[in-house]
């Protein structure tokens, strides 16, 4: 029963002070009475977290801490003494971070990213010196093996630090990765856990990250979100192909291109109808109607002005091609139709 990890154990005895749990080797551990899940009986299997109590004895809990052994957690410092800092990780006994494991002196009330490890006596401690545990480069197993990554792979992220180009994140508690500002379309903050995706492995073997899956894969989950929002509302949504990109990003946190892919998918599946002022859920009559191409939406004044500007620009380019790019001066007077001629005298 290694401390700092989850174990599935068998309940063997129910006593006034709690329940005794046993592993396959016959080792026993106490689960305090207030931690016993309701309705369990002798012989049931229970998944618990094992750690050391205040007297350094192994004890089990049904609570889930904010991090386990070998993981990075975002924790608040709640007490500081002469030996180090104590961080709240969701258990009765706080996680101790010695001064030697702090990059700078921790302050009460502030949050820090710490790696949960063990000291030389086997006690669980935290370390803010993440570079000792988190690697910059991904080398072993890249690409295509069980221990490596492929572009587009889903990964677990913990946002750790804001930088000039974006955010540094811990990937799967093992590697550093960079999430660039251009790939962020929803609020991100240090301490936030989220799902991300591998954008690419750079030539220096470091990871670039993104928050949306690559290609059409990102349209599928968005299509489900759009459909759910339509079903939970009145069946309509005031967004379509021609909606401003910033408005789409505000509602769904995605690019306009991704949004168009998602509603295009729903349209082909006859789940929605695209109209001039937005989209709506398709009715039974809509589903039975012969399939037609998507109706052209009404042209906005901005579209008309852009179209006119583009036409003038194209005409100018065509004129430049005919004249070889030289400026041509033309007589502004209209042609009268009269011509000068020589008349023979009698």
Asked whether residue 332 is domain-assigned, the answer is no
- 0.75 cut: is pTM over it? no
Q: What number of residues does the chain have?
A: 346
Instruction: Please tell me whether residues 83 and 121 are part of one structural domain.
Output: yes
Instruction: Please tell me whether residues 235 and 282 are part of one structural domain.
Output: yes
d(CA 104, CA 59): 32
Query: What is the CATH number for 263?
Result: 1.10.10.10
* pLDDT at residue 251, rounded to an integer: 82
Q: Which of 211, 236, 252 is the last residue of a domain?
A: 211
Asked whether residue 98 is domain-assigned, the answer is yes
What's the whole-number mean pLDDT along residues 282-304?
Answer: 59
* Total tally of structural domains belonging to the chain: 4
Instruction: Please tell me whether residues 113 and 175 are part of one structural domain.
Output: no
Instruction: Please tell me whether residues 259 and 195 are part of one structural domain.
Output: no
Residue 339 has pLDDT above 60, yes or no: no
Out of 45-59, 244-258, 318-332, the most confident range is 45-59
Q: What string of DSSP letters covers 128-160?
A: S-GGGTSBS---TTTTTSTTS--TT-EEEEEEE
DSSP 202: -
Q: Where are the alpha helices (DSSP H) in the chain?
A: 219-232, 245-252, 256-268, 284-288, 301-322
Which has the minimum average pLDDT: 89-93, 149-153, 186-190, 295-299?
295-299
d(CA 93, CA 86): 9
d(CA 328, CA 322): 11
* pLDDT at residue 293, rounded to an integer: 46
* pLDDT at residue 331, rounded to an integer: 53
* pLDDT at residue 184, rounded to an integer: 86
Query: What is the CATH number for 44?
Result: 2.40.50.330
Answer with the residue of higher pLDDT: 100 or 56: 100
Asked whether residue 142 is domain-assigned, the answer is no
Residue 334 has pLDDT above 70, yes or no: no
Question: CA torsion, points 310, 311, 312, 315, in degrees to nearest 10?
Answer: 120
* pLDDT at residue 62, rounded to an integer: 92
Query: What is the CATH number for 207?
Result: 2.40.50.140
Q: Which of 174, 193, 211 is the last residue of a domain?
A: 211
Asked whether residue 46 is domain-assigned, the answer is yes
Mean pLDDT for the chain overall: 82
Burial 177-206 (b: 16+ CB within 10 A, else e): bbbeeebbbeebebeeeeebbbbebeeeeb
Asked whether residue 323 is domain-assigned, the answer is no
Instruction: Please tell me whether residues 206 and 223 are part of one structural domain.
Output: no
Asked whether residue 149 is domain-assigned, the answer is no
Contact (CB, 8 A) for 293 and 258: no
Instruction: Please tell me whether residues 30 and 87 are part of one structural domain.
Output: no
For residue 267, give its domain range.
Answer: 216-288
Q: Which of 237, 262, 288 is the last residue of a domain?
A: 288
* pLDDT at residue 56, rounded to an integer: 84
**pLDDT tens track for 104-149:** 999 999 999 999 999 988 899 999 999 999 999 887 554 544 456 7
Residue 344 has pLDDT above 70, yes or no: no
Instruction: Please tell me whether residues 231 and 207 are part of one structural domain.
Output: no
Asked whether residue 138 is domain-assigned, the answer is no
* pLDDT at residue 106, rounded to an integer: 96
Asked whether residue 139 is domain-assigned, the answer is no
Instruction: Please tell me whether residues 198 and 259 are part of one structural domain.
Output: no
Q: Is 255 helix (H, G, I), strand (E, B) or coil?
A: coil
Answer with the residue of higher pLDDT: 310 or 284: 284
Instruction: Please tell me whether residues 87 and 108 are part of one structural domain.
Output: yes
* pLDDT at residue 299, rounded to an integer: 45
* CB contact set of 322 (below 8 Å; sequence gap of 6+): none
């Amino acid at each position: 029963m290694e401390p700092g990890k989850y174990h599935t154990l068998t309940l063997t005895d129910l006593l006034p002070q709690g329940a005794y749990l046993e592993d396959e080797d016959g080792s026993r551990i106490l689960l305090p009475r207030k931690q016993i899940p309701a309705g369990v009986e002798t012989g049931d299997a229970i998944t618990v977290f094992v750690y050391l109590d205040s007297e350094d004895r192994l004890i089990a809990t049904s609570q889930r801490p904010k991090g386990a052994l070998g993981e990075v957690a975002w924790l608040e410092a709640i007490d500081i003494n002469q030996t180090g800092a104590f961080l709240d990780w969701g258990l009765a006994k706080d996680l101790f971070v010695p001064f030697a494991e702090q990059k700078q002196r921790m302050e009460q009330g502030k949050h820090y990213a710490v790696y949960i490890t063990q000291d030389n006596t086997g006690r669980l401690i935290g370390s803010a010196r993440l570079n000792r545990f988190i690697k910059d480069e991904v080398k072993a197993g890249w690409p295509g093996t069980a221990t490596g990554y492929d572009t587009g792979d889903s990964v677990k992220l913990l946002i750790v630090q804001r930088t000039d180009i974006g955010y540094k994140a811990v990937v799967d508690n093992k590697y550093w990765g960079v999430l660039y500002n251009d790939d962020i379309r929803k609020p991100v903050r240090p301490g936030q856990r989220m799902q991300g995706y591998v954008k690419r492995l750079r030539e220096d073997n470091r990871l670039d990250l993104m928050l949306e899956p690559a290609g059409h894969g990102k349209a599928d989950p968005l299509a489900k979100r759009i459909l759910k929002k339509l079903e939970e509302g009145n069946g309509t949504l005031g967004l379509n192909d021609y909606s401003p990109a910033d408005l789409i990003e505000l509602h769904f946190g995605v690019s306009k291109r991704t949004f168009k892919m998602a509603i295009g998918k729903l349209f082909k599946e006859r789940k929605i109808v695209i109209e001039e002022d937005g989209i709506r859920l398709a009715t039974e009559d809509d589903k039975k109607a012969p399939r037609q191409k998507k109706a052209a939406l009404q042209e906005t004044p901005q579209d008309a002005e852009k179209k006119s500007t583009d036409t003038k620009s194209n005409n100018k380019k065509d004129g430049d091609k005919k004249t070889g790019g030289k400026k041509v001066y033309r007589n502004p007077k209209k042609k009268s139709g009269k011509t000068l001629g020589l008349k023979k005298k009698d």
